[in-house]
Amino acid sequence: MRSIGFALIALLPVFALAGCVHVPTLDELQEQCMKKGGMLMIIYTQELTLSGAGEQIPSPGRCIMPENFDKPSTPQQPPSQPPAAPATKSN
């Protein structure tokens, strides 16, 4: 019983510091992405109820980089293989 109490007291500073972690704002994330040369994708969600639409809630998405658009739009096809020889029937 004493070991459980000691463990809880030992973990108390960890839980206290967990609340001190800085969560970046949408503006900070946009600025970080722009410094890398990209553009932050913002995803908006909205709750719909019978009484109408709620407020829009912005959430950060991916940081889109210019390199993402340099890739070819069609997938590369593997080299075609010659057709297999037809199987012969033996009687």
Q: Quick one: average pLDDT of 1-12?
A: 56
- Does the pTM surpass 0.85? The reply is no
Q: How far apart (Å, rounded) are the C-alpha atoms in residues 42 and 30?
A: 9
The residues spanned by each domain of the chain are 24-70
Answer for the pair 47, 29: CB distance below 8 angstroms, yes or no. Answer: no
Q: How far apart (Å, rounded) are the C-alpha atoms in residues 25 and 40?
A: 12
Give residue 69's pLDDT band: very low, low, confident or very high (50, 70, 90).
Answer: confident
